[in-house]
Amino acid sequence: MNYIVESFADLQILRYGVDGFPSLSPRQKRLVYYLQEAALCGRDILFDQNGVWNLRIRRMMETLYLHFLSRSPRPAEFPALEVYLKRLWFSSGIHHHYSTDKFLPGFGEDFLRRALHECPEAWQPLAAGASLGEWCAAVFPVIFDPAVCPKRVNQADGADLLLTSSCNYYQNVSQAEAEAFYARQKAAGPADTPVPYGLNSRLVKDAEGRLVEEKWHVGGLYSPAIERIVYWLERAREEAETPAQQQVIDLLAAYYRTGDLALFDRYSIAWLQDTDPCVDFVNGFIETYGDPLGMKASWESIVNLKDQEATRRTEIISSRAQWFEDNSPIEPRFKKKQVRGVSAKVVIAAILAGDLYPASAIGINLPNSNWIRARFGSKSVTIGNLTKAYSEAAKGNGFWQEFVLEEELPRLEKYSRLTDDLHTDLHECLGHGSGQLLPGVDPDGLKSYGAAIEEARADLFGLYYMADPVMVELGLLPDGEAYKAQYYAYLMNGLMTQLVRIEPGATIEEAHMRNRQLIARWVMEKGKKGGNVLEWITRGGKTFLRVNDYGALRGLFGALLAEIQRIRSTGDYAAARAIVEQYGVQVDPGLHHEVKRRYENLRLSPYKGFINPRYTPVFGPDGQTIEDVRIDYSEGYAEQMLRYSRDYSFLI
């Protein structure tokens, strides 16, 4: 397979293979097909969640793109229009998918105005009777003015995180008003089994200024898209592999019809306990990174197949979950006395959608509800074919040779793929499921810092156990040297190479980046005080990281894990804020400049995403029964995005 498709702006588009799909039974293939249709039907939801103008701007730009694509000659601004549209597709809106800063087009207002005058079908269906001048006056500031909608998710300390964010989860609602609104809901609900308040709704003010939740369900917001999702879920139910999987689909469909969060919890429990089928899926409002308050969930979906051979690794880990919990370096009062229901597997992604497309996570651990994790456990997946695609696409790109210390390079070349996958397994399978909140602690009490703290907790759990001799004893690592590849690569990324994703003068706001820098800078600072465990060195005018004592480094990871778990378990907001702001937010400008310069010389793209394969049903003689499903990898990026907009646009 040719994994690399194209590059533009700071993005690279890759393909992934779905090994194992051709050998599925006809019934399993139909199940995959119906579930991927349900996945694609939710596409518009994420665009709208990310900003109120996104769907209209996407439709306008797509129409202009197709209009000029058929012309000869094309205007000089066409390449800039094409790049802007491709970025908009990638980010599901006008804000960068990772930094959440608004990106600006490479063409000017005069060109866009002329283009809209020439192509009225690009704007008239969207303008509700307004004139071209009125339309331009409304939409141009959103596209061109850096001061209008500058940030989709603002995490700056001291700001009103809602009034300064452009996401579409709140309208004319301040941070204090939203926090008070949901505090009242939590106080009125059950303390031991709280539903995820606010997860599936937009919070707005009505005509009288009262706060009202507009829920996302059939008959509510996003109903046209959700109705199609439910339709395909019901078709998938007919092909379910087990009665338990049928129940999962029934509960999800019922939740979609009603918006009842208690049903969502029932669905989550049934889903995590359903571990037998080869074909599995996630579909719904799941992760809350897109909400500045970490409550409302973006829509996402993935359909996957179990990788039977690779799953052996995760089964070994999950079967010993209690041992890992008992031997964790955290305080005994924060440990689970009995770890329940931990399951893990390596999967092959068959389709990515919503907030998992085109950029995707490589591991998932769900559900997110703390009380469900405590009573019933969790289900973790590592997405093996995506990590394979990343690895194959990176071969020979010169990145390691530029940033890795020469004496560390052979170890990374030998062990990095294995240790990367193992760290993901430990992070998702055990890290997120480890530890417990003390009685009465609000799961959302860390507020905007909760996501970074949670990701740090899971990363540190994995880092600490990577170096444990049990990894070799269980056959998960070949020898006692392998873990060092992960330690070095992780710290190099947290301290240096992830900075390529930050614009000069900016601070770090994305939760995973904050987490990685927090860990790396904390151990760097403490390690210097404790014997120069790791240090900066200069060779040939370039800065490199050197680790002098890997054993002591493991001890530092364990000490930080203990503190992060204490913060999480006790809901210590002040400590969460202090440690994230001190270590995870600020950027060293000199090092930043150097890293950016060295990276740019490699001509690499710091962000990557994927094209999905295309599935085509093969009908039997009656023209209705699907006898087979064919998979095809030839579709291009723009071709796929335009097809999705043509076939799966239900909200505009």
In whole angstroms, give the CA distance from residue 37 to residue 615: 9
- How much is the average pLDDT of 245-265? 98
Name the CA dihedral angle for 92, 93, 96, 98, rounded to a multiple of 10 degrees: -40
- Looking from the CA of 147 toward its CB, the CA atoms found within 13 Å total 0
Write the DSSP string, 38-67: HHHTTHHHHHHHH-TTHHHHHHHHHHHHHH
pLDDT digits (tens, 9 = 90+) for 56-86: 999 999 999 999 999 999 999 999 999 999 9
Q: Residue 246 has what pLDDT?
A: 98
In whole angstroms, give the CA distance from residue 405 to residue 413: 12
Residue 539: band (very low, low, confident or very high) from pLDDT cuts 50, 70, 90: very high
In whole angstroms, give the CA distance from residue 35 to residue 28: 11
Helices 223-237 and 26-40, packing angle to 10 deg: 170
pLDDT > 90 in the chain, percent: 97
Q: Specify the pairing of strand 4-8 against strand 542-547.
A: unpaired
pLDDT digits (tens, 9 = 90+) for 301-342: 999 999 998 899 999 999 999 999 999 999 999 999 999 888
In whole angstroms, give the CA distance from residue 175 to residue 191: 23
The phi and psi torsions of 352 (rounded to 5 degrees) equal -120, 140
Of 309, 313, 304, nearest to 277 by C-alpha is 304
Helices 637-647 and 78-91, packing angle to 10 deg: 60
In whole angstroms, give the CA distance from residue 495 to residue 451: 19
In whole angstroms, give the CA distance from residue 462 to residue 1: 32
Residue 531: band (very low, low, confident or very high) from pLDDT cuts 50, 70, 90: confident
Residue 424: band (very low, low, confident or very high) from pLDDT cuts 50, 70, 90: very high
Question: Token pair 């056959």 is at which residue?
Answer: 475
Q: Residue 284 has what pLDDT?
A: 98
Cis link prior to 358 (omega < 30° from 0)? yes
- Going 269 to 275 to 276 to 277, the CA torsion angle's sign is positive
Q: Facing residues of 607 across strands?
A: 11
Q: Residue 341 has what pLDDT?
A: 86
Q: Residue 407 has what pLDDT?
A: 96
Residue 567: band (very low, low, confident or very high) from pLDDT cuts 50, 70, 90: very high
- Strand, coil or helix: 201: strand
Of 296, 302, 418, 401, nearest to 351 by C-alpha is 302
Q: Residue 514 has what pLDDT?
A: 97
Q: Residue 530 has what pLDDT?
A: 77
The answer to pTM > 0.85 is yes
In terms of C-beta distances under 8 Å and separation of at least 24 residues, what long-range contacts does 157-162 make, across chains too?
157/577, 157/581, 157/585, 161/292, 161/293, 161/448, 162/292, 162/293
- Give the domain ranges of the chain: 223-607
Q: Facing residues of 545 across strands?
A: 536
pLDDT digits (tens, 9 = 90+) for 410-420: 999 999 999 99
Of 320, 350, 425, nearest to 380 by C-alpha is 425
Cα separation of the two ends of the chain: 36
Q: What is the mean pLDDT of the chain?
A: 96
In whole angstroms, give the CA distance from residue 391 to residue 417: 7
Which residues have C-beta within 8 Å of that of residue 149, sequence separation ≥ 6? 51, 53, 94, 95, 102, 142, 166
pLDDT digits (tens, 9 = 90+) for 617-652: 999 999 999 999 999 999 999 999 999 999 999 999
Question: Token pair 């170890």 is at which residue?
Answer: 411
In whole angstroms, give the CA distance from residue 551 to residue 527: 11
In whole angstroms, give the CA distance from residue 182 to residue 288: 15
Q: Residue 1 has what pLDDT?
A: 85
Q: Residue 223 has what pLDDT?
A: 98
Kindly report the CATH class assigned to 223-607: alpha beta
In whole angstroms, give the CA distance from residue 302 to residue 42: 11
Burial of 595 (0-12, 13-18, 19+ CB in 10 A): buried
- How much is the average pLDDT of 22-34? 97
The phi and psi torsions of 538 (rounded to 5 degrees) equal -120, 130
∠ CA 637-639-643, rounded to 5°: 120
- Strand, coil or helix: 651: coil
In whole angstroms, give the CA distance from residue 102 to residue 145: 10
Q: Please, are residues 500 and 595 in contact by the beta-carbon 8 Å criterion?
A: yes
In whole angstroms, give the CA distance from residue 154 to residue 293: 10
Residue 190: band (very low, low, confident or very high) from pLDDT cuts 50, 70, 90: very high
Of 319, 241, 339, 334, nearest to 24 by C-alpha is 241
In whole angstroms, give the CA distance from residue 626 to residue 624: 6
The first and second tokens of residue 614, run together, are: 């295309």
Residue 357 pLDDT > 80: yes
Of 389, 284, 395, 428, nearest to 612 by C-alpha is 389
